[in-house]
Amino acid sequence: MTLIITVILVALVFEYINGFHDTANSIATVVGTKVLTPRQAVVLAAVTNLFGALAGTAVATTIGKGLVDTQFVTAATIICGLFGGIAWNLLTWWLGLPSSSSHALIGGLLGATLAAAHNNWQVIIWASPDPANPWYAWGGLLYKVILPMFTSPVLGFLVGFLLMALLYLCLISTKPNAVNQIFGKLQLLSAGYMGFSHGSNDAQKTMGIIALALFSATKAGDFEQLPAWLHFLRTPAFEVAVWVKVVCAMTMAAGTAAGGWRIIRTLGHKMVRLHPVHGFAAETTAATVLMAAAHFGMPVSTTHAISTSIMGVGAAKNLKALRWELVERIVWTWFLTIPATAGIAYLLVRVARIMGWLD
């Protein structure tokens, strides 16, 4: 029971860090364009994230039972996986780099489960083809994580570029002041759309981890002696309880309020100078990519989506407007996140076994 409570607390710590890491990405553009103050943007993000988090559980299901064999997952394994993700998130946050909390969490889960299974690579669900559905609806690491990891940034860049180019054509004869006034109002809608889509995808990942921990504990009989007032912890079938959704969403919002400014500065100010029309295009593009991914249960990165959307919008404005050296640093963190967090979590499980904390 103590381990389960620890899992929930560590998962919420991860969600809190996700708040000032990933949710900062979702509100960076609306702050960077000065349409909203940071405080107003945080309130908007909190409300829309909450509604988005309550909208579905497809991504949570993928995280909870679609990537690894759950019989090798214990509370201790999950804790090691979470610490792997937390360590990487803190490092990239300190450096001001918008790396992916989603992939940090996935990498940690993969590495910890592999170590718990004594290097049996079969515990990782690499692919689950389903002839009854098109390939993009298939399950497993390849179809739910790896392919979307590459396609979502490409889509973000291309759609952002094309949407911004279209807006330039449509607004070519409109005065700049009028454009700023119109899109200053429209960006309120796009920022809300971005927050909702972020909640529908990112907020569900920690929910999936907590649901997995509760399901594993229930299956193992750890909750047999629970007092009546704690029966809500029992999860006989894989599902995400409403209390888990609400607690995760609120924790993420609190994290956003606490420390998102490092990454907000990177995306909203340093990568390319943004005006309301650019923020509208970037947010609309990124939110649409996230919503499509959430529909198919793909835990894609909000960071990837909004970063590449901003890049695409900036490229449509002027290729020289982008700081390509910063783009290069960001891309490197994308490629390193899953192997780095998997390695950290793997080592934590091995150390825990040597110390006698794991069988």
DSSP string, 36-63: S-HHHHHHHHHHHHHHHHTS--HHHHHH
Neighbours of 149 (CB within 10 A): 22
Residue 130 sits at φ, ψ, to 5 deg, of -135, 100
Q: Distance between alpha carbon 127 and the CA centroid of its chain, in Å? A: 21
Q: What is the reported pLDDT for 340?
A: 94
pLDDT in tens, the chain (359 residues): 788 889 999 889 888 877 766 666 667 777 777 888 777 877 887 788 778 888 878 898 899 888 999 889 988 899 999 999 889 888 887 877 667 878 899 999 999 999 999 999 999 999 998 888 888 788 999 999 999 988 998 899 999 999 999 999 999 999 999 999 999 899 989 989 988 998 888 778 889 999 999 988 888 888 887 788 888 888 877 878 888 988 988 887 777 667 555 555 555 445 456 788 988 999 999 999 999 999 889 999 887 888 889 889 988 877 776 667 767 776 777 788 999 999 999 999 999 999 887 77
Please return the burial class of 292, using the count of CB atoms within 10 Å of its CB with bins 0-12, 13-18 and 19+. middle
Neighbours of 114 (CB within 10 A): 22
Is 0.95 surpassed by the pTM of this model? no
Residues ≥6 apart with Cβ < 8 Å to 249: 46, 49, 50, 53, 54, 199, 203
Distance CA 141, CA 128 (A): 9
Residues ≥6 apart with Cβ < 8 Å to 253: 19, 23, 42, 45, 46, 49, 50
Note whether 322 and 270 are within 8 A (CB): no
* CB burial string 244-253: b at 16+ within 10 A, e below: bbebbbbbbb
**In 3D, which of 154, 164, 169 has the Cα closest to residue 282?**
164
Phi-psi region of 12 (alpha: psi -120 to 50; beta: other; left: phi over 0): alpha
Distance CA 137, CA 310 (A): 28
Q: What is the reported pLDDT for 321?
A: 66
**In 3D, which of 309, 224, 226, 300 has the Cα closest to residue 268?**
309
**In 3D, which of 200, 196, 195, 3 has the Cα closest to residue 82?**
3
Distance CA 355, CA 217 (A): 23
